[in-house]
């Protein structure tokens, strides 16, 4: 082989190597893009699941608080309704407090 043929052969090998590198780079970019797409989808799924769990917990807590407040309000009303009004005693206290003011 003469120098020209050797040089042409080396240039051909270099071109093939460049094509292989280019193909490998394109495949790597495709795989990276696909992995990023899958990761985004997995992240979105985890986010939605977490948000749904938090929303469920929030609604349960609201229901529990509402139920407790209704029970406390009912207990207060029952207690309030059983209190007897002693207007004569109240009048006596007012009279003792404001007797000199009038």
pLDDT one-digit tens code per residue, 86-97: 888 888 888 888
Residue 93's Cβ-side half-sphere holds a number of Cα atoms within 13 Å equal to 5
pLDDT tens-digit map of 34-88: 999 999 999 999 999 999 999 999 999 999 999 999 999 999 999 988 888 888 8
Q: pTM for the full model?
A: 0.54
What distance, in Å, lies between the first and last C-alpha atoms of the chain?
133
Q: What is the DSSP letter of 100?
A: T
Q: In the structure encoding, which two tokens stand for residue 6, read together?
A: 């050797």
Q: In the structure encoding, which two tokens stand for residue 21, read together?
A: 């590198």
Q: How far apart, in whole angstroms, are the C-alpha atoms of residue 90 and residue 84?
A: 12
As a whole number of Å, the CA-based R_g of the chain is: 43
Mean pLDDT of 24-43: 97
């Amino acid at each position: 082989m003469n120098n020209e043929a050797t040089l042409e052969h080396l240039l051909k090998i270099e071109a093939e190597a460049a094509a292989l590198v280019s193909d490998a780079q394109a495949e790597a970019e495709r795989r990276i893009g696909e992995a990023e797409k899958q990761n985004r989808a997995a992240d979105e799924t985890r986010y939605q699941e977490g948000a749904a769990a938090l929303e469920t917990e929030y609604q349960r807590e609201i229901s529990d608080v509402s139920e407790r407040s209704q029970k406390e309000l009912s207990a207060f009303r029952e207690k309030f309704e059983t209190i007897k009004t002693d207007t004569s005693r109240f009048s006596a206290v007012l009279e003792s407090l404001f007797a000199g003011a009038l």
